[in-house]
Structure 1
């Protein structure tokens, strides 16, 4: 499966597909699981210990984007953050209605499929709540795939040039050597321990994220990650999630794609309305605000910001806020549901 995922990621890297290593790996292993899944040994699944390590890598990568410059600009983002708070609530409520009423999903699957952010956190918490993991994974990835594919393509057509990862942008430094790995490993391991100790939601991801953010803000040591490590993490995560598509049939996939399109259209419509309001109030650039509100991946949206000569730290601040807010919202509602049945 890892070999299949690596091959899929490598092939996708030669295309204009955003986040090629993760999406290429996921697509390749999902196809293999769907076609040959019945021939796998009983209980065959991706080793969680391997997945855990690379989830921590992704968490460190995201947390490392939290810088003192980003924190310094937070007071000036009060209006857009308030609008983003409204966006999370409206988008999640609308998505839940779509997946519950139109899709007929059970409550847990509809709830965690409809979150407008926090892909890994939603999958981890949905697994604990008994959601259908194949459907949940499909809907969450469709959200990201549709947003980070359609939005960059639309902006590329508008600007007349590729944007984001398709335009060669990257958040990793090319000159990072192996001497940086011990720091990344230490931060990831400490984050895993903190996440478990504090019982954080999706602690295997959020723990390393928060520890990496603290280290990055302290300025004690740099948190530079080589591109090859980020690529490997995307391949592993893509393969581990793609394997869960084995139980889905063609009809379920077609229905999921249809629901995903409706969901993304709803979220983007809500985002555009709120972005127009924030733009009128603050005068911030419309395109920068749009990629800040788009419910896609943190990395790809930051890369699009680089393509537009916008401040990637500002865009990343919005997306990290959206993810953290979504995780808090999921946790609060999940605990309320457990107490009230």
Structure 2
């Protein structure tokens, strides 16, 4: 690591820390993620030399993955298994929402962006797996800049608005499965980290999505479901992890992002707001057939990222295990189905 790069990393972390402390003082929801995200994004768009160091991002994802995996006690596991039909409906909803979002982008932007093809709007509209959708879009000869901008802006809007909405509505602290009381054990933490690192390495070698999040979470789930309680995650470590993730999201908003087809970004923003509203209605309907709170189901079906929605559920105590399962299953479905569905509908359109 060169000295200039190290200085940029340190300066970015100091900016993120200051923003997080300010948000704590202002009582903003999820201050350790939203503060760094907004501050880093603003600085990046103003051409400041912000930098996210990949190992810190991986540590953040690993920590959050472990913290979420520790929720899955045998009792919680039985609860989640009983919701398989709701999870399936959540997957269908995500695919439908992504199709509608892509259709909205196509209908509103075709006149303003000459040469805009269906591959661009299809992969830009998909809900979840942002980096994977950008790669698939490139293979389909789509405009990857528009696809990446769509996913980045959607994640930013959802990550900021949904926690604020939860706090404004008073929906928090309804989850009785929180693990805050579990004692921290240095030895148990060391063993858990070693096992989590092995899980992350294995998923990375297999080419799976989000290995530094999924691997540690699966490892922690396996221990907890077996009734083995190694350690709890201290609050300061969870806060640091949220800060690292907030920075990694914020640095995506480069000056080039600001100049990316303003009409396209406006359409993405309007479409994202509509999807949040539709997901709220879907969550309310789904809650009528379950014993789950609408806030939990909204986080599980909202068009946000798995890490951001799971962190929101964890911090606000809104059913983190259920939210995590909904988001994970949706992620797998999007990764497996979106590309084949695109080629299927392309074949149908050919004369």
Place the TM-score, normalised by the shorter chain, in its bin.
0.7 to 0.9
Gaps (5+ residues) in structure 1? 157-161, 307-311
TM-score (norm 2): 0.74
- 1:2 maps to which residue? 13
Cα distance between partner residues in 2 of 1:59 and 1:293: 19
TM-score (norm 1): 0.76
Question: Which residue, 298, 311, 315 being the options, matches 1:299?
Answer: 311
Cα distance between partner residues in 1 of 2:64 and 2:117: 30
Check the 8 A contact 2:94/2:301 in 1, yes or no. Answer: no
Cα distance between partner residues in 1 of 2:225 and 2:192: 15
- 2:209 maps to which residue? 201
Residues 1:317 and 2:322 aligned together: yes
How many residues get paired? 315
- 1:159 maps to which residue? none
Cα distance between partner residues in 1 of 2:66 and 2:343: 31
RMSD: 3.6
Cα distance between partner residues in 2 of 1:58 and 1:288: 18
Gaps (5+ residues) in structure 2? 1-11, 139-143
Check the 8 A contact 2:149/2:260 in 1, yes or no. Answer: no
Cα distance between partner residues in 1 of 2:29 and 2:235: 15
Structure 2 CA distance for partners of 1:139 and 1:56, relative to 1, 3 Å: same
Deviates most, 60-69 or 108-117: 108-117
Q: How big is each residue's C-alpha offset from its partner over 1:190-223, in whole Å with a ceiling of 9 and x where there is no partner?
A: 1211212322122232222222222221233435
**Which has more radius of gyration?**
2
Following TM superposition, by how much is the alpha carbon of 1:89 offset from its aligned partner in structure 2, in angstroms? Answer: 1.9
Structure 2 CA distance for partners of 1:266 and 1:174, relative to 1, 3 Å: same
Cα distance between partner residues in 2 of 1:99 and 1:320: 29
Corresponding residue SS for 2:71: coil
Question: Which residue, 61, 66, 70 being the options, matches 1:60?
Answer: 66
Q: How big is each residue's C-alpha offset from its partner over 1:210-246, in whole Å with a ceiling of 9 and x where there is no partner?
A: 2222222123343521111111111112112212212
Equivalences for residues 91-102 of structure 1 within 5 A: 91-102=97-108
Q: How big is each residue's C-alpha offset from its partner over 1:56-77, in whole Å with a ceiling of 9 and x where there is no partner?
A: 2222223332231122123532
Residues 1:183 and 2:183 aligned together: no
